[in-house]
A and B are shown apart, each in its own frame.
Chain A
Amino acid sequence: KNEVEQSPQNLTAQEGEFITINCSYSVGISALHWLQQHPGGGIVSLFMLSSGKKKHGRLIATINIQEKHSSLHITASHPRDSAVYICAPGPHSGGSNYKLTFGKGTLLTVNP
């Protein structure tokens, strides 16, 4: 089973700050997902990546497959970024191609 560790568990920032959320996993994977969940809300997929870096607006996701580590960065954070961010490594290489493993999430609060 893939063990997933996200850090920090909780993060409070001031508007405009640069945010980094980290995700480490224990088993080799084919791809990793970053998800966003607003309080009381549904879950939205932000990124799926298997190597390097992806950027969407103010959000940047990076992954190092060899180090088994991924980071999610938010530049110029805004109160509307307040949400839980969830890391979900894909199935390990050679294993079942369907089952994701989910981290417990990082609760981000951005104050104005």
Chain B
Amino acid sequence: NAGVTQTPKFQVLKTGQSMTLQCAQDMNHEYMSWYRQDPGMGLRLIHYSVGAGITDQGEVPNGYNVSRSTTEDFPLRLLSAAPSQTSVYFCASSAQLAGVSEQYFGPGTRLTVT
């Protein structure tokens, strides 16, 4: 199993550009989520999904969109990049609800917005 994969590993965007961060898992997990990690702060939840076709907002959803058309894939879209979105982004999946199931994280995407 590859586990959770993310692409790209690194990305530089100009303000106003859009892009999609890809996330895929091959463990048939129902639950997937996107986090951002900023210096001096804990991981913060952007969006999450409890199954194909079902998504919901997390703590910091503004400026991001998600969709979940398949169990395997959970892309994160930046609609119009801003410098405040410079961060490291992690995708995670779990077999059950976060409170009762181990979390599997992808390797992260380091995004810089200039």
B-contacting residues of A (Cβ < 8 Å)?
Answer: 4, 29-31, 33, 35, 41-45, 48, 50, 86, 88, 90-91, 97-105
A-contacting residues of B (Cβ < 8 Å)?
Answer: 31, 33, 35, 40-45, 48, 50, 58-59, 90, 92, 97-108
Q: Provided the pairs A42-B105, A45-B103 are in contact, do residues A97 and B98 lie with their beta carbons within 8 angstroms?
A: yes
In the complex, the answer to whether A33 meets B45 with C-beta atoms within 8 Å is: no
Which residue on A lies nearest to B104, using beta carbons?
A45
The number of inter-chain residue pairs (CB within 8 angstroms) is 72
Q: How far is the CA of A29 from the CA of B97 in the complex (A)?
A: 13
B102: chain A residues at CB < 8 Å are 33, 45, 48
Give the residue of A4, A35, A91 whose beta carbon is less than 8 angstroms from that of B98: A91
Measured CB to CB, the closest approach of chain A to B41, in angstroms, equals 6
In the complex, the answer to whether A104 meets B98 with C-beta atoms within 8 Å is: no
In the complex, the answer to whether A43 meets B90 with C-beta atoms within 8 Å is: yes
Given contacts A43-B108, A100-B45, A100-B103, 4 further A-B contacts (CB under 8 A): A30-B100, A41-B107, A42-B107, A98-B48
In the complex, the answer to whether A86 meets B50 with C-beta atoms within 8 Å is: no
Q: List 19 A-B contacts (CB under 8 A).
A: A30-B99, A30-B100, A33-B103, A43-B105, A45-B105, A48-B101, A50-B100, A86-B42, A91-B99, A97-B97, A98-B31, A98-B50, A100-B45, A101-B42, A102-B42, A102-B43, A104-B40, A104-B41, A105-B42
A4: chain B residues at CB < 8 Å are 42
Which residue on A lies nearest to B58, using beta carbons?
A99
Q: How far is the CA of A60 from the CA of B98 in the complex (A)?
A: 21
B41: chain A residues at CB < 8 Å are 104
A86: chain B residues at CB < 8 Å are 42-43
Which residue on B lies nearest to A46, using beta carbons?
B102
Measured CB to CB, the closest approach of chain B to A17, in angstroms, equals 26
Q: How far is the CA of A86 from the CA of B43 in the complex (A)?
A: 9
Measured CB to CB, the closest approach of chain A to B32, in angstroms, equals 10
In the complex, the answer to whether B103 meets A103 with C-beta atoms within 8 Å is: no
In the complex, the answer to whether A31 meets B100 with C-beta atoms within 8 Å is: yes
Q: Provided the pairs A98-B31, A98-B97 are in contact, do residues A42 and B108 lie with their beta carbons within 8 angstroms?
A: yes
Q: Provided the pairs A43-B90, A98-B31, A99-B58 are in contact, do residues A31 and B42 lie with their beta carbons within 8 angstroms?
A: no
